[in-house]
Amino acid sequence: MSTPRRPRRGARAGAVALAVGALSLPALALPASAAGTTYRQANGPADCVSINPDGSLNTDPGSCSQFGPAGQGRSNQQARNVILIIGDGMGQQEITAARNYVEGAGGRFEGLDNLPHVGLYTHHSINKKDGSVNYVTDSAALGTAWATGTKTYNGAIGVDVAGRPEQNLIEVAKNAGMRTGNVTTSEIQDATPAVMGAHVSTRSCYAPSGDFKASCEADQRVNGGLGSISEQLVDTRADVALGGARGAFSATVEAEGTYTAADGATHEWTA
């Protein structure tokens, strides 16, 4: 085995840890047929770890780091555009299962596994009655959490446990003068896209009347609420909105009058 070089001052801890792990691999008794073969190491380039003709490993701690000796290549430039892609029900366990199935245990997804940052957060919801933790969340409560930063009860869209509206990402962006979009392969009133433009007590409150109306009387504008999800999506009015359930936008508004939106502005609507 080649003698490992002493890590340079200021070397990344991750690079050192990876190199140490690689140097312990000969204990696995690699087959002689593997001599001269190049193996792809997790997060490293294709030539990160190679096997010498005598069966020993040849590694370079710098090259075996996630981004190589040159580092990550950070930039001080600010992003002009941000696209948030939500894979509904796509957690680490689903990604791992797909990766193992498609690429094998040592495989990688090009693109997804090359992203420089990964962030994780808890995804429990809150029981409405007593405020206790509910470890089984739904997409409405989870969507509200990432769209507004507020934990809430299952079924809630853009409101906290007490039913108070919480500002979402599209509202923050529009208030900052940015152009926005809300695009989905599902119904646009479905929980995940709805949390970006509405504030209702129950996720099924699609429309003010007709087949898409749910039992959400307190949310209806005729009763002083902010309106159904469809009505609020029209008010939020992302610059680009694509999705299903067009019929919910054709529902008849039951009354006319004024109401105060989540941003505090007063609006009028007609039947």
pLDDT in tens, 221-251: 888 888 999 999 998 999 999 999 988 888 8
Give me the domain span that covers residue 259. 138-269
- Same structural domain, 192 and 241: yes
- Residue 138, annotated ligand binder? no
Q: Model confidence over 6-42: pLDDT tens digits?
A: 433 333 333 223 222 233 333 333 344 444 444 443 4
Full DSSP string of 212-230: G--S-GGGSGGGTS---HH
- Residue 160, annotated ligand binder? no
CATH label of the domain that carries residue 166: 3.40.720.10
- Arithmetic mean of pLDDT, 112-126: 82
Structurally, the chain folds into a number of domains equal to: 2
- Same structural domain, 213 and 177: yes
- Same structural domain, 189 and 243: yes
Burial class (CB in 10 A: 0-12, 13-18, 19+), 95: middle
- Residue 192, annotated ligand binder? yes
Q: Which of these is catalytic: 65, 125, 139, 201?
A: 139
d(CA 179, CA 18): 43
Catalytic, 250? Answer no
- Same structural domain, 106 and 177: no
